[in-house]
Chains A and B, each alone.
Chain A
Amino acid sequence: MTYLAKPKLHHPDLPANALGFTRRDYEGTISTLCAGCGHDSISAAIIQACWELAIQPHRVAKLSGIGCSSKTPTYFLDKSHGFNSVHGRMPSVLTGANLANRDLIYLGVSGDGDSASIGLGQFAHSMRRGVNMTYIVENNGVYGLTKGQFSATADRGSKSKRGAVNTDEGIDLAILALQLGATYVARSFSGDKEQLVPLIKGALTHPGAAFIDVVSPCVAFNNHEGSTRSYDYVRNHNEAVNRLDVITMHREITAEYPPGSVQEVHQHDGSLLRLRKLSEDYDSSSRISAMSYVQSRYAHGEIVTGLLYVEPGAGDLHASLGTVDRPLNELGEKELCPGSAALAKFNASLR
């Protein structure tokens, strides 16, 4: 952490996006996390993704729970709506906010403690309901704020900084998300922005429950020999299955690829997800084969990263509940109070 604010001066050639904003306009206050924390890189990737998509900051609602990860929304998008909720309860608060105002872009930021321990149930239900959100878990495998105990996602057999071996099975949140019906599931690494930024862009444009598990080394308590969340370990065991390009409606498509090497997914909002395959036999359109591939590689000690699964025709909670298609705060007296005739008609339908 630093006591100084980041200087306002920026590179003289810093480009502006379609809204006239530079990347610096999407920043927040300076981080107070430990120097070298992977979470700061994820914040930087979120900033980059939002800038590239030319998202209007005031159209974003960022929500989080408790933990190192859940502090980070302060460090990006300081002109967006923010809500720092109770430990593990971000998914419920977000679901409520989403139902009230469906027009905002919802970004939930959580950690492995927040989502895999205290909030596991909350996480599960937001996924299975298909809340239209981007759910990012900043996953370092330890409780950093309480000095590095194993978290629920720590791999069995991995070592703590003091040498203790983890005897509990680790929870793989990406597998859970796949199983629970999330329609966009990805895994990435904080140290690989080339992969992470497009995955966040894809998730932000995805019209359903999008989940990204980001391995994010804790430099203070989980970056040692024997850890399976250290920079070195993840770099050596990272098996990326594909590279994603997110193509918004406004951008022209110019690159050409050999046939069979690219998978294209058209989304509702007109954006196009183009997956360049890195692993030939990986198919990200099948939920079942995604789960089996990730788990079989895990058995070999490999961490599969990339866009693991995406469902092109994804819907969301609003569609399944048949809610009104405008945010509640835009409804006037006429819509909310349709009159006694309408009430009589409704009552009659229940008799």
Chain B
Amino acid sequence: MKPTDIGSPDYFHKVVDCQWACPAHTPVPEYIRLIAQGRYADAYMINWESNVFPGILGRTCDRPCEPACRRGRVEENQGEKPEPVAICRLKRVAADYKGDVKSRLPRPAAKKNGKRVVCVGGGPASLTVARDLAPLGYSVTIFEADARAGGMIRTQIPKFRLPESVIDEEVGYVLDLDVDFRPNHRVESLKELLGHGYDAVFVGSGAPRGRDLDVPGREEAAKHIHVGIEWLASVSFGHITRVGRRVIVLGGGNTAMDCCRSARRLGGEDVKVIVRSGYEEMKASPWEKEDAVHEGIPILNFLVPKAFVHDRGRLTGMTFEKVQAVYDDKGRRSLVPTGEPEQRFECDEVLVAVGQENAFPWIERDTGVEFDKWGMPVLDPATLQSTLPSVFFGGDAALGPKNIIWAVAHGHDAAISIDRFCRGEDVAVRPPALMNLVSQKMGIHEWIYDNQIVPDARNRVPLKELTIALKDIRQEVELGFDPELAWKEAQRCLNCDAQTVFVPKLCIECDACVDICPMDCITFTADGEEADVRARLSAPARNPAQDLYVGAGLKTGRIMAKDEDVCLHCGLCAERCPTGAWDMQKSFIEMTHAGPGCREGAAPRKAA
């Protein structure tokens, strides 16, 4: 096998599973350590640099980091249910306890650079573009159809999950950078916008159209049937304050979960979610499903809606066909009717949350921005540039409905593209991430990081008592970790950025590291092909998504192969190494954002 090149910025980045999985590549272990030290403002700033909305994301993020978290893998088959570190909710702790960070935020540019950028839509993607570009001197204008900035963060996420004050604060940090925010201004024509001579246009208009359900009775009972995201927006703006006693929510995504939980708070006593698929295959995040079930909302599955039942326009119920999942030999699923009689559920109101669509009625088809057969803009996925070079897309508008953290990641990428584009540089050239390795050794048994592995199970976030929580839709249901609980949870983090760095020429092959490794990660063995080596390790490496760290040049001609999969980063290999061939070194990986670092001729960035 080829010896591992640890100089490649991606190698150790991949070992930090959470950071690698985060679309914005937030340095998670770094901020978790800061939280454990009570340095909340520092932890917040690390987040703010990477993901712009720590307080918002700490309550609402889709958390791709958590399924990736190594803690979940290493806890398998021993004792408690394996669970990742509560990364998302620790992020909220940083936001809750940070105090005043205004002095640490960038200031509006002292001098404009003469370039004008316009963002369509005031959601997370556009706000990220504005945050990255405005301090550099760009004049950024944001057009937003609603009265206030935030986009789906403000309209679709119920206030019991995300208080208005948190949105105002973090959106405010961006708008305070001297961004020209134009509320109540729906852009009706791209052509007209282009006519104003902006240097670049960023389209962050989201996926604003909720999919409807066209089955018999839809028109007749229209008064009692609502499309989910529109209904949530009306609730958010206070246009809707009541709902019928019996409510059916159709759909299995996170929007459906927000709908049913909102309905419970607006007078819905008998609220149920009905989905076509099975419970496991539902699109909603597992924790959102759990939260709904916790609030007494049953989720009924394998039921396909057939008709709205009404009495001269007054909705009385819905009928469903029972189906089952059948898989063909390629593993593709189809839902086949079981032949059981139709099921009928009584209801007064129905919320349809069966998906969202993109819609660009305001982009004329002859502007040069091309669309594919699904009506989505044709984009370079890395640069987010459309076929009209000055127009860029991001967030749900770019690649279909995803989530806030993806919108932020798109915003960063588009800002880099726009920065390079406005300077006449090739947007296809992307800046490398900064990677820095620093030894954590302080003494013979002392490391800068806390290398003791705690056996604790995941800590639950305390909730407000249900009877109180259900009374008021603006009452935040999660209380968040307090500092003590946050410290406990932070201790579960394995510090995966404390990397095991191996120097073959120092190794005397005494086996001390092999013997001490609690996870049997390390093997000294004859060289061979990767598949062969993987099978010959102390513990077979069955997770091909995780690399083998290979060191060659040992005196016996063998190789050192370390399976990164379940390494605890406890540092015992380095503590037991008599020659210092193993060292624990912190890898700090930071993405390069728009600015001097992303441009031609930029000096290689060095970490402070």
Contacts and interface: CB of A to CB of B under 8 A. Distances in A.
B336 interface: no
Contacts of A11: 519-521, 539, 566
B77 A2 contact: no
Nearest to B75: A9
Given A11-B539, A41-B510, A36 B577 contact: yes
Interface in B570-589: 570, 572, 575-579
A13 B452 CA distance: 22
Nearest to B540: A13
Interface in A79-114: none
A3 interface: yes
**Residue from A9, A14, A223 whose CB has the most chain B CB atoms within 10 Å:** A9
A296 to B, nearest CB: 26
Contact of B570 (A7, A40, A193): A7
Given A36-B576, A36-B579, A235-B555, A9 B453 contact: yes
B73 A231 contact: no
A223 B508 contact: yes
Contacts of B579: 36
Interface string A1-40: 1111011111111100000000010000011001111101
B518 A7 contact: yes
Chain A interface mostly: loop
A67 interface: no
A14 B520 contact: yes
A61 to B, nearest CB: 23
B515 A44 contact: yes
Given A4-B452, A235-B555, A35 B511 contact: no
A34 B540 contact: no
B85 to A, nearest CB: 14
Interface in B494-551: 508-512, 514-516, 518-521, 539-540, 542
A38 B510 contact: yes
A57 interface: no
B403 interface: no
Interface in B306-360: none
Interface string A287-302: 0000000000000000
Nearest to A7: B453
A343 B439 CA distance: 78
B566 to A, nearest CB: 6
B512 A12 contact: no
B453 to A, nearest CB: 4
A232 interface: yes
Contacts of A12: 73-74, 76-78, 566
B255 to A, nearest CB: 35
B445 interface: yes
Interface string B30-46: 00000000000000000
**Residue from B455, B509, B512 whose CB has the most chain A CB atoms within 10 Å:** B512
A193 B518 contact: no
Given A9-B518, A12-B77, A35-B576, A41 B539 contact: no
Contact of A13 (B512, B539, B555, B572): B539
Nearest to A45: B515
Contacts of B568: 7, 9
A265 interface: no
B451 interface: yes
A180 interface: no
A2 B572 contact: yes
A217 interface: yes
B578 A2 contact: no
A9 B78 contact: yes
B228 to A, nearest CB: 40
Contacts of B555: 232, 235
B297 to A, nearest CB: 34
Interface residues of A, number: 34
Contact of A4 (B451, B519, B542): B451
Contact of A35 (B452, B509, B539, B575): B575
Interface string B90-115: 00000000000000000000000000
A225 to B, nearest CB: 13
B556 interface: yes
Nearest to A223: B508
A36 B520 contact: no
A316 B202 CA distance: 88
Interface string A231-251: 110010000000000000000
Interface in A36-65: 36-38, 40-41, 43-44
B518 A37 contact: no
A303 B329 CA distance: 60
Contact of B519 (A10, A30, A36): A10
A148 interface: no
A38 B76 CA distance: 32
Interface in A169-191: 190-191
Interface string B46-90: 000000000000000000000000000111111000000000000
Contacts of B514: 44
B517 to A, nearest CB: 9
B502 to A, nearest CB: 15
Interface string B427-471: 000000000000000000100000111010000000000000000
A192 B540 CA distance: 20
A219 interface: yes
Nearest to B512: A36
B509 A2 contact: no
A223 B512 CA distance: 15
A193 B514 CA distance: 11
Contacts of A36: 508, 510, 512, 576-579
Contact of B572 (A6, A38, A193): A6
Given A9-B78, A11-B520, A35 B453 contact: no
Given A36-B510, A41-B511, A10 B518 contact: yes
A6 B516 contact: yes
B510 A191 contact: yes
Nearest to A47: B515
A218 to B, nearest CB: 10
Contacts of A231: 508-510
A9 B519 contact: yes
Contacts of A2: 445, 516, 572, 575-576
B494 to A, nearest CB: 10
Contact of A191 (B73, B509, B521, B570): B509
B522 to A, nearest CB: 11
A219 B77 contact: no
Contacts of B540: 13
Contacts of A219: 508, 510, 578
20 contacts: A3-B445, A6-B572, A7-B570, A8-B518, A9-B74, A10-B78, A12-B78, A12-B566, A30-B516, A36-B576, A36-B577, A36-B578, A40-B576, A41-B510, A43-B515, A44-B514, A191-B511, A219-B508, A219-B578, A231-B508
Give the 7 A-B CB pairs with smallest separation, nearest first. A36-B578, A7-B453, A12-B76, A44-B515, A36-B510, A2-B575, A11-B539
Interface of A: 1-4, 6-14, 24, 30-31, 34-38, 40-41, 43-44, 190-191, 193, 217, 219, 223, 231-232, 235
Interface of B: 73-78, 445, 451-453, 455, 508-512, 514-516, 518-521, 539-540, 542, 555-556, 566, 568, 570, 572, 575-579
Given A1-B445, A4-B570, A231-B509, 13 more contacts: A2-B516, A4-B452, A6-B572, A10-B519, A11-B566, A13-B539, A31-B516, A34-B578, A35-B578, A41-B512, A217-B510, A219-B508, A232-B508
